[in-house]
Amino acid sequence: MFYQSQLKALKRVDRFRQREIFDDDLVDFASNDYLGLSKRVESLDLALDMLKESSQISPKASMVVNGYSKIHKNFEETLSSTNGFEDGVVVGSGYLANIALVEALVRKGDAIFIDKEFHSSGVLATKLIPGDIIWFEHNDPENLKSRLKNSSAKRKIILVEGIYSMSGDTLKKEFFDIANEFEAILVVDEAHSSGVLGKNLLGVYEYYGVEIMPNHIKMGTLGKAYGSYGAYILASNHIISYLINRAKPIIYSTALSLFDTALAMVNFEYIYRNKSKLNFKLQKRRDDLKKYFGQENDSLILSLEFKKDKDVKSLQKTLLQKGFLVGAIRRPTVLKPILRIIPNIGVDDDKFLEFVDICKEQKII
């Protein structure tokens, strides 16, 4: 068969992956459902009501043909105005959003500066561009600054994440100052920080009180804290207009599902109305992560490193048998295999403490 030898090699080094439907009774500490909205049935009902009031239930075509709807437009306007940006566009997924940004923004004579731990979507997109690709050390402002100083590129585009998906590290504030100093375009992927950081849970821009500038671009997903599917890009009017005219994933993909857009809108409004209560729960869970696991960052991503891929698979299986689902992330996704644990606030404190006891019992902590 065509790929049997490759599949055998993956199994031999414990890197073989397969889909699995997990028991609904498991406590889910593996997903990116930070606020527990994936089980909020009220959101489903409200999104369906919104859809029933629309003249259509599916987008039918690309946004630049006739797939753009009032549901899309209302959500884009809500996101951009609430976050302090001039304009926005919704996209089919976070992966497509990063490809759209990199592929469209970087032209001949430009340079893109990428954190070494940036998402794989950005890594893939670098294969599509004519400009220089410059990697800098993870979350290291000074390393980026030295690379910017040595660049004579016409335009400089920086790619960073608000919270890094594997390590849980929060972006350092200095990156905003450096981007302004070098008049570089700063793209912040807020997939794991929107809905988690900031007084209004808007993400790392709000968390640091950053004044939105013309060189700022914010990208985020709807499939994590916002409990839906899809993505968005927020920026100045002219950058959004440019993306609509040049970004292939926007031009040539069917517009984002209307139901997913409606569901994201409902959940975004819910988060904004309940920000104080949600922030309190998030902070309580952060405090517990620090108390029991020694976690020192602002995210809910607990990343526990191990030596071998088989170690994390074995521990994941043990925790499954105890009723808890966690992520077993192996190479090449990460340099060293990790148990990736996300104790979302939809799970009550008693269950979290039970998980802590099991981790102690298994000598995970």
- The answer to whether the beta carbons of residues 213 and 86 sit under 8 Å apart is no
Checking 201-204 for CB contacts under 8 A at 24+ apart, the result is 201/225, 201/271, 201/272, 201/275, 201/278, 201/279, 202/82, 202/83, 203/83, 203/162, 204/162, 204/163, 204/170, 204/171
- R_g (Cα) of the chain, nearest Å: 21
- CATH code for the domain of 349: 3.90.1150.10
Q: From CA 215, how far away is CA 324, in angstroms rounded?
A: 43
235 located within any domain: yes
Going by pLDDT thresholds of 50, 70 and 90, the confidence category of residue 121 is very high
Read off φ and ψ for residue 44, nearest 5 degrees. Answer: -60, -50
Does residue 333 lie in a domain region? yes
Give 299-340 pLDDT, tens digit per residue: 999 999 998 988 999 999 999 999 999 999 898 888 899 999
pTM (two decimals): 0.95
Say if 5 falls within a structural domain: no
- The answer to whether residue 3 is domain-embedded is no
Do residues 228 and 130 share a domain?
Answer: yes
In a domain, 247, yes or no: yes
201 and 124 within one domain: yes
Domain with 163 in it: 42-272
Assess if residue 6 is contained within a domain: no
**Tens-place pLDDT, residues 198-253:** 999 999 999 999 999 999 999 999 999 999 999 999 999 999 999 999 999 999 99
